[in-house]
Structure 1
Amino acid sequence: MATLARTQPPWKMPESSTPARLKIWNSLTRTKNDFVPIDEKEVKWYSCGPTVYDDAHLGHARNYVTIDILRRIMIGYFNYKLKFVQNVTDVDDKIILRGRQQHLLTQFKENNPRITDKVVGTTIKAFDAYVKKNLPLLSPDLKPDSFNKESTEIYANVINGKSLDGTTPPGDKEAKLKMHLKTAGTAATALLSPSKSTAVDTAEFYAGAEDVLLPYLDSLYGSGIDANDHTIFTKLTQKYEARFNEDMRNLNVLDPDVVTRVTEYGDQIVTFVKKIVDNRYAYKTSDGSIYFDIETFEETPGNHYARLEPWNRNDKDLLADGEGALAKKTTEKHSDADFALWKSSKPGEPSWKSPWGPGRPGWHIECSAMASDVLGGQIDIHSGGIDLCFPHHDNELAQSEAYWSNKEGGHQWINYFLHMGHLSISGSKMSKSLKNFTTIREALSRGDWTARSLRIIFLLGGWHDGVEITDDLRKAGSSFESYVTNFFLKVRDLEIHPNTNSSGSDDEKLKKQFETAKERLHNALTDSFDTPTAMRAISGLITDYNSAAKSGLSDEVSFDIARWVTKIVRIFGLDGSSDPDNGSIGWSGIEIPKEAKEFVYAVSRERDEVRKHAIAGNLSEELLTSIISKDKPARQQNTVGAPYAEVLCTFQENLKGLTEKKAPAKDFLALCDRLRDLDLWDLGIYLEDRDNAPAMVRPVDAELRAVREQKEANERQKREAKERREREEAEKKARLAAQAKISPKDIFRTAEFSAWDEDGMPTKDAKGEDVPKSKTKRMRKEWEKQRKLHEEYLKGVSSA
């Protein structure tokens, strides 16, 4: 058997007579290699697509959005023509299990529309089986009503965010335990629910018990379903493929040029496996399964197994994951590492015809067969998540080389492997199996992220590095988006308010900085798509622009820089489907509605004039009439434009009213503030006042809302603090007033003492003993204070 110690020859990289425009970090060589396409006319790219049995989560977004970024850079910046192929895995062990389980649960619900003793009994058995399998430290005979107490004690470390033993950092093991604790706890709560009689009770019960019922019902009845009815599984896969495509489009991910599906490739996969068998790199077992023969494969010169992660080739856990949850144990495998190309279908599993009997594809063979069918025997780029390196992509490589090679030597199937880093939460990667994820549609619908803000986060990190979303990273992403948005707003404002008095003295300096930024970005992108450095080049150029004196900067230089920034951010996919090369400026979100422009720009001009003259103290009736007369909105407006026209009319009418009343300047300024802070704000538009320049018209965005909310929160805190102080002062005065009514002779007449003198001073304590002199001295001070307070009270009463 070949081992890791075997010397592997260097992977042969393509060569070109001209210098490469791009270097790419290649997982095959674990270094950066010049990118030399097989055919300059078309780059062939295969990317592993989704396994469609559940909604895609943010971890998937990390993979597919990042691949989309690289693809867009290849097309938009380096001008490569791509043929981008992506598969859909619509049959594998996870899908079979999920489809079968959902089918059985649906039947169970239909047969049991009410929660009877039978349903409860079945659920208790399901709960017991789930706990025994997944939470082995708990008592084997644990009852649902004891679950919370015992699980909290035994798994305290895990619940508190520690490792199971409490000494090492938590990892995937602890994440799985948390998931199992949550699932079992939810089921226990459903079982302990006091009422199970109504339709609502039934729905809530099944929702709580579902995740323990699914595997239990499958263990009882899974092998008995009619697996020839493929709709049991396709109902699931078609639903989630459609939802996946919707999620990707909502994230502005380009559609693949070609989509392949496993269920549509049954015959081609059988043919592919048969050739590997004919090449003597695979063997059949007695049940009709076909396994890849790693040892025979490596006996051929030039063939090596586990090229991507040779250190993992003997990892039993990874090998088991690669074979799938429904893998059949067999003693007929030549080696434990040999993997299934074709699996004989057991009862309850879908099947397709083959020379070896009814069966279904192994996980890895699907990509090899589909990619080879569409792209041929040699492919430029293969991409996917980092977790696919071993065994999936290593197995793909081996079986594809076995298919395309001959006995004289190996065959190079893929030239560049690109693997995207994980997205992590609290140190654990996002995973469907861990159920520690937020789905893409949840994140977008709640407003946690937008397609742009999430993509910016990924651009700020290396594409093959792990990303952990932290508050600092969120702030960095938000800051970049705001920085670019404000830059676009400034430059677009020059189209409305040209800088006609510019001397152009700063043009040459900024042009040099512009060239430096372009060179920096180019060097970054050629260096294996170094988007973090590219993003810094963009923000650095904007800083240079902001630092330049606008009086010395011509508008054309501003426009040139803005057009370039627009082109790059669009290449990165930060502006929907906008064309990077159309010469326009900005991205979505900086424009007010077109129906609003006529009226909003008019009212903004009038407001600027009114403010300027009100501040200067020379706002006369004649001047005001002149200002208003420039803009006369039509009485009839379409539905969309009417609110904006109304704002202009109302502002003008209010100005006339203040003029007729000969109102002071402060009232005119207050009206201008109202227009900015209420009337236009409520329509989603803000007027940003600037020194010695007209107000900038801009949409109300998340940044502006956050600033206003913070300002309002600060004002609310100040107001509440003032109210609290006033309330406390009033309460203090009330207490003093009540205290003042008491005679000093009565303040010590309590059960603590048993005798007093004529002034009411205590002489004996409750036991009849003399009061200590030190205590008498302290009480005399209190007595004197109360005497003065009471005398003041009596004076007030007598004078009333």
Structure 2
Amino acid sequence: MAAPARTQPPWKEPRSSVPPKLKIWNSLTRSKNEFVPIDPEGKEVKWYSCGPTVYDDAHLGHARNYVTNDILRRVLRDYFDYRLVFVQNVTDVDDKIILRGRQQHLFAQFKERNPKVTKDVIETTTKAFDAYIQKNLPLLSSDILPENLNKESTEKYAAVIGGKSLDGTSPPGDKEAKVKMHLKTAGSAATALLAPSQSTEADVAEFYASAEDVLLPYLDSLYGSSINANDHSVFTKLTQKYEARFMEDMRNLNVLDPDVVTRVTEYGDQIVDFVDKIIANKYGYATSDGSVYFDIENFEKTEGNHYARLEPWNRNDKDLQADGEGALTKKTTEKRSDADFALWKSSKPGEPSWKSPWGQGRPGWHIECSAMASAVLGSRIDIHSGGIDLCFPHHDNELAQSEGYWSHQSGGHQWINYFLHMGHLSISGSKMSKSLKNFTTIREALERGDWTARSLRIIFLLGGWHDGVEITDGLRQAGTSFESYVTNFFYKVRDLEIHPNTTSSGADDEKIRKAFEAAKEKLHNALADSFDTPAAMRAISGLITDYNSADKTALSDSVSFDIARWITRMVRIFGLDGSSAPNDNSIGWSGIDIPSAAKELVYAVSRERDEVRQHAIAGDLSSSLLTSILSKDKPETQLNAAAVPYAEVLSTFQENLKGLAENKAPAKDYLALCDRLRDLDLWDLGIYLEDRENAPAMVRPVDAELRAARDQKDAIARVKREAKEKRERDGAEKKAKLAELAKVSHKEMFRTEEYSAWDEDGMPTKDREGADVSKGKVKKLRKEWEKQKKLHEEYLKGVGSA
């Protein structure tokens, strides 16, 4: 019996038990906490996300952070129905940007002044090479010559090159990765300096490309301080370019735009006011050079204030502190504690600056997020997110300075309620990093076809959002399998729209609906358990497995459609289907449809083919029956350009069928024509007819899975064909050799230098020294003689016949 009609979408049905409330892994408490928005109505959620530092193209490590962030955002908004205000910053002023912008500006000027590789250019590059070696590869000789670099590097850094640590005992890490990067950079510059020719335009371009990374810091050391600090275009030219490219990359990965984008350069006054208030609250102090630092000791003297709440174990890590302060931070003896961090930095010559009560300067790295987030979202924020590497010092410093700013007026010290940190991405165990230059950019990966927006997102969904994800062959295969599994499910259900299952008994409806309800509950429990997307993905694939195992003749189409709509909704909530709305009641994701211009014509030719095959196999395909089949479909004379190729396929198929009928062709010719339509004519148009037993062929696009299967099939056929051709060649060669051998008379075959006497049959009697040939050897030679006699006589018969 068929299930009753539904009055509401299946995902809105009440569950049998009270669903669990959402809990989120909170870095602030290092535990899962129930999610309770600040909004009194519990609907609005204020979220601040740390955005990119825009001085280079985003890489796959960034994709891990922003795509995963996007998944959580979509789940909160579209599954849990929260109303989000999502703010993301763009860091367009910091030490990395200043250095990169300044260096690129100076390098461009240097190339403009030196359009050819002159003696002066070689001399400057050699000095840059020497300076780079001295700073970054201290084990090498300070006066090393480019031609000796490879030999000495192999000796002095043998452990690192061999995949070991510098000390030879501990596991290799970032230090060793940096050494490898520096060796590569120095090697590239050495190759440029040793190049035999640098005269052509291509040679010059290659020289500068190879020497760039040693020239950048050297030119900056010579001329960096001469940059006009008031000419911000030196730096914004770089940041505007890479911000635009970042946003393009994110949209190509189907990451939603932020509701609000904040840029440091647009919040100068708010940042100054923010720092001024921290000083007024006694948590900041200015130094004589015009810098301002956060007073950690004074902050912690106030009851309830704690520094380094996210990673207290790192609060005294001087390397992390130095990294957080930036490469351009001026050392001072006026800091009250080594751990105190900069809120405002006095600008040195060659650095951009803004007016402030403490003199010309620029924001510290951490203050920008505090000031901008507070300016847009206020004194209390629900969620703050970012990569795991931002925990300390960036987010810990944000927390301290923001709570120092708001402590007197927010009724407490809780600035952020939930910190969400995305795990790293690694490939073959190595974390991607701009500083290590071991990354693949997002646009490179997409352009080369290494990934699609969907396939990469599936990989992240299959891993925990706050855990590290290592891309392995196994994980790639798991992602490909999931995508294929869902795609094939959608093909089957969408086919029911064309070929309804009108004879279904509905006997399996209740069983599959129970599996459906169980899957919905599993998925809800998974998402409520701190966005456990791996478990949610298993719930989806498990439901598809249950569906595939059902007897389709005992399943109502309405059940299939309900399941497919729910799965469609979930994969769209996860961002796996472009900009498609989760609740539009449609089925499937992009890539499962044939072109709209093809549908009417392709479904017509597919139906005709089904009928022709059916009757050809049954042996009852008559001319009159064929005429009846073809009379149902006639291509229109007026077609738009997109439909023409498909109309040609239909008309050609019909004409070929008529030709076979006129010639009274056997059934196998009709079946061969049907195979050609499937394997060539439609395949070349990107459409495949998947033949099924006791069912019409399923029309589907040619996708990567089908192409891979055909490539594999073709490869196997090619191997078989080549093996057969080899056997035939070997057989022909053997036959030719045998034919030549047959021409030799058995009476002449042993008349060689090996023997000195023979009988009347040509059998040897004496060896070359005149000794009698042994009886054993004579017996052996006689067998060969008899064989050759038979062969030669057959040859003579053949010649006589000819």
Residues 640-789 of structure 1: pairs in structure 2 closer than 5 A = 640-730=642-732, 744=750, 746=752
CA shift in 2, pair 1:784/1:244, >3 Å: farther
Shift of 1:204: 1.1
Shift of 1:293: 1.0
Of the three residues 343, 346, 358, the one matched with 2:345 is 343
Query: Contact 2:750–2:764 (CA<8 Å) still a contact in 1?
Result: no
CA shift in 2, pair 1:779/1:191, >3 Å: farther
Shift of 1:21: 2.6
| Partners of 2:220 and 2:618 in 1: CA distance | 82
Shift of 1:91: 0.5
Q: Which residue of 1 aligns with 2:8?
A: none
Secondary structure of the residue aligned to 2:641 is: coil
Q: Which residue of 1 aligns with 2:30?
A: 30
Of the three residues 75, 79, 101, the one matched with 1:99 is 101
**Cα displacement string for residues 187-220 of structure 1 (whole angstroms, at most 9, x for unaligned residues):** 2222222111111111111111111111111111
Shift of 1:783: 7.0
Query: Contact 1:114–1:197 (CA<8 Å) still a contact in 2?
Result: yes
Paired amino acid for 2:37 = P
Secondary structure of the residue aligned to 1:640 is: helix
Secondary structure of the residue aligned to 1:415 is: strand
Q: Which residue of 2 aligns with 1:625?
A: 627
Shift of 1:406: 3.4
| Partners of 2:783 and 2:279 in 1: CA distance | 106
Residues 124-203 of structure 1: pairs in structure 2 closer than 5 A = 124-165=126-167, 167-203=169-205
Q: Which residue of 1 aligns with 2:413?
A: 411
Q: Which residue of 2 aligns with 1:108?
A: 110
Shift of 1:153: 4.1
| Partners of 2:488 and 2:560 in 1: CA distance | 13
| Partners of 2:171 and 2:739 in 1: CA distance | 61
Query: Contact 2:422–2:467 (CA<8 Å) still a contact in 1?
Result: yes
| Structure 2: runs of 5+ lacking an equivalent | 1-17, 756-762
Paired amino acid for 2:82 = Y
| Partners of 1:351 and 1:134 in 2: CA distance | 30
Query: Contact 2:58–2:442 (CA<8 Å) still a contact in 1?
Result: yes
| Partners of 1:20 and 1:381 in 2: CA distance | 20
**Cα displacement string for residues 61-110 of structure 1 (whole angstroms, at most 9, x for unaligned residues):** 10001010000000101100010000000010000010001001100000
Query: Contact 2:569–2:583 (CA<8 Å) still a contact in 1?
Result: yes
Q: Which residue of 2 aligns with 1:309?
A: 311
| Partners of 2:389 and 2:115 in 1: CA distance | 42
CA shift in 2, pair 1:670/1:403, >3 Å: same
Shift of 1:782: 9.0
Q: Which residue of 2 aligns with 1:63?
A: 65
CA shift in 2, pair 1:781/1:673, >3 Å: farther
Shift of 1:478: 0.8
Is residue 2:587 matched to residue 1:601? no
| Partners of 1:330 and 1:134 in 2: CA distance | 24
| Partners of 1:338 and 1:783 in 2: CA distance | 102
Query: Contact 1:301–1:409 (CA<8 Å) still a contact in 2?
Result: no
CA shift in 2, pair 1:287/1:761, >3 Å: farther
| Structure 1: runs of 5+ lacking an equivalent | 1-17, 750-756, 765-769
Paired amino acid for 1:30 = R
| Partners of 1:328 and 1:367 in 2: CA distance | 22
Shift of 1:130: 1.6
Query: Contact 1:227–1:350 (CA<8 Å) still a contact in 2?
Result: yes
Shift of 1:150: 3.0
Is residue 2:491 matched to residue 1:494? no
CA shift in 2, pair 1:667/1:279, >3 Å: same
| Partners of 2:732 and 2:517 in 1: CA distance | 68
Secondary structure of the residue aligned to 1:641 is: helix
Shift of 1:221: 1.0
Query: Contact 2:753–2:768 (CA<8 Å) still a contact in 1?
Result: no
CA shift in 2, pair 1:779/1:285, >3 Å: farther
**Cα displacement string for residues 545-578 of structure 1 (whole angstroms, at most 9, x for unaligned residues):** 1111011100111111111111111111111111
**Cα displacement string for residues 313-354 of structure 1 (whole angstroms, at most 9, x for unaligned residues):** 111111111011112122221111111111111111100111
Of the three residues 488, 503, 528, the one matched with 1:526 is 528
CA shift in 2, pair 1:507/1:284, >3 Å: same
Q: Which residue of 2 aligns with 1:754?
A: none
How many equivalent residue pairs? 767
Query: Contact 1:745–1:759 (CA<8 Å) still a contact in 2?
Result: no
| Partners of 2:718 and 2:62 in 1: CA distance | 41
| Partners of 1:489 and 1:599 in 2: CA distance | 19
Q: Which residue of 1 aligns with 2:52?
A: 50
Query: Contact 1:85–1:257 (CA<8 Å) still a contact in 2?
Result: yes
| Partners of 1:270 and 1:288 in 2: CA distance | 13
| Partners of 1:619 and 1:206 in 2: CA distance | 73
Residues 118-517 of structure 1: pairs in structure 2 closer than 5 A = 118-165=120-167, 167-406=169-408, 411-517=413-519
| Partners of 1:200 and 1:363 in 2: CA distance | 40
**Cα displacement string for residues 508-545 of structure 1 (whole angstroms, at most 9, x for unaligned residues):** 11111111111111111111011110110011111111
Paired amino acid for 1:29 = T
Secondary structure of the residue aligned to 1:392 is: helix
Mean alpha-carbon deviation: is it higher for 784-793 or for 517-526? 784-793
| Partners of 2:55 and 2:628 in 1: CA distance | 68
Secondary structure of the residue aligned to 2:117 is: coil
| Partners of 1:598 and 1:760 in 2: CA distance | 90
CA shift in 2, pair 1:777/1:34, >3 Å: farther
**Cα displacement string for residues 365-387 of structure 1 (whole angstroms, at most 9, x for unaligned residues):** 00000000001111000000000
CA shift in 2, pair 1:188/1:653, >3 Å: same
Paired amino acid for 1:358 = Q
Paired amino acid for 1:113 = P
Q: Which residue of 2 aligns with 1:81?
A: 83
| Partners of 1:210 and 1:541 in 2: CA distance | 55
Query: Contact 2:309–2:396 (CA<8 Å) still a contact in 1?
Result: yes
Of the three residues 534, 553, 556, the one matched with 1:554 is 556
Secondary structure of the residue aligned to 1:567 is: helix
Aligned-pair RMSD on alpha carbons? 2.5
**Cα displacement string for residues 435-475 of structure 1 (whole angstroms, at most 9, x for unaligned residues):** 11111111111111111111111111110000001111111
Mean alpha-carbon deviation: is it higher for 36-45 or for 594-603? 36-45
Query: Contact 2:114–2:121 (CA<8 Å) still a contact in 1?
Result: yes
Query: Contact 2:428–2:472 (CA<8 Å) still a contact in 1?
Result: no
| Partners of 2:230 and 2:776 in 1: CA distance | 96
Secondary structure of the residue aligned to 2:588 is: coil
**Cα displacement string for residues 403-439 of structure 1 (whole angstroms, at most 9, x for unaligned residues):** 1113999611000000000000121211111111111
CA shift in 2, pair 1:409/1:42, >3 Å: closer
Aligned-residue sequence identity (percent) comes to 78
Paired amino acid for 2:36 = V
| Partners of 2:378 and 2:410 in 1: CA distance | 20
Query: Contact 2:19–2:525 (CA<8 Å) still a contact in 1?
Result: no
| Partners of 2:778 and 2:159 in 1: CA distance | 59
Q: Which residue of 1 aligns with 2:14?
A: none
Mean alpha-carbon deviation: is it higher for 135-144 or for 385-394? 135-144
| Partners of 1:407 and 1:518 in 2: CA distance | 44
Shift of 1:178: 2.1
Mean alpha-carbon deviation: is it higher for 177-186 or for 579-588? 177-186
| Partners of 2:779 and 2:209 in 1: CA distance | 70
Query: Contact 1:300–1:410 (CA<8 Å) still a contact in 2?
Result: no
CA shift in 2, pair 1:657/1:153, >3 Å: farther
| Partners of 2:765 and 2:193 in 1: CA distance | 72
Shift of 1:762: 6.9
Secondary structure of the residue aligned to 1:106 is: helix
| Partners of 2:501 and 2:128 in 1: CA distance | 74
Q: Which residue of 2 aligns with 1:10?
A: none
